[in-house]
Amino acid sequence: MSGSRKFFVIGNWKMNVNKTHIDNIVKFLTAASLNFNTEAVVGCPSCYLSYARHHLPSEIGVAAQNCYKVPSGNFSGEISPAMIQDCGCEWVILGHPERRAIFNEPDELISEKVAHAQQAGMKVVACVCERKEDRDSNRTEEVLFRQMESLAASISDWSRVVVAFEALWASGTGILATPAQVQEVLAKLRYWLRHNVSQEVANSTRIIYAGSVSSATCLELAKLKDLDGFLVSSAALNPDFVDIINSSRMSSSWLWEKHQHLQHTTALISNLRLRHVNKISNLDSYSPSRTI
């Protein structure tokens, strides 16, 4: 990860929460010591956007999990960027693999959604993905580059976009992508940005990974050169999410802060030990006068 790109972790709750669940998540996030060098966001069902925004700490962003391509109209069941913003939220996830695979959203529609979200001033987590058959047939690059080309045509401000790559074959399948496999794809995506958008965009755009990310896998993945964070699913529903948010605590500022804290704690312990030793020594040397 480049020091110029702030680490980004978004936990996608999908269709797995109610107000009680959200209250529990709020409790462990509020009680935790979160890395201030990580930008943390949660992806919330649209019916709970206002509730989540009201109860979560202000430093944690809230994202809608989808939106439509126009500001208003007769589109039952849809939600617009203006509605999301009216709930106090500034992020939206678009092109999620489940929208692509289950709801058959094509690249063109996703591109139109991204374009309108940007026009409305939203920040976008734009998703690309590969399926098992793509990898097995050596079509990973072809598939991802096609998706990137469609997204890029709709993006006017890359500073307000995070690109999320998901390996569908490693999501909930029991098969984990190796760090080398993840890095290979992230490097390809950054290569595409460099040669099709600009060097500046390639260097500054955050690219995150999704694929059964957990507290057990995040530390090793967080070390990857081209990885700037995670899109988390089930682990975002429990305190493991805190470990994932804190998985990139390797910045010099964080290390210096912890070093100072450790020094302070060590000095305090030493002082207490010294006082205890002196107290014992004084007791041993005390000899009460004897009356004859």
- Which residues form the catalytic set? 96, 166
> Burial, 41: exposed, middle or buried (Cβ in 10 Å; 0-12, 13-18, 19+)?
buried
Q: How far apart are CA 85 and CA 87, in angstroms?
A: 5
Planar angle of CA 285, 291, 292, nearest 5 degrees: 130
* Phi, psi for 102 (deg, rounded to 5): -85, -40
Q: Distance from CA of residue 260 to its chain's centroid?
A: 27
* Phi, psi for 134 (deg, rounded to 5): -65, -45
Beta-bridged to residue 43, according to DSSP, are 12, 63
| Residue 38 and residue 59 in contact, taking contact as beta carbons nearer than 8 Å | no
Find where tokens 């939206």 sit: 92
Find where tokens 């500054």 sit: 204
**167: nearest Cα among 142, 144, 194, 190:** 144
**112: nearest Cα among 54, 69, 55:** 69
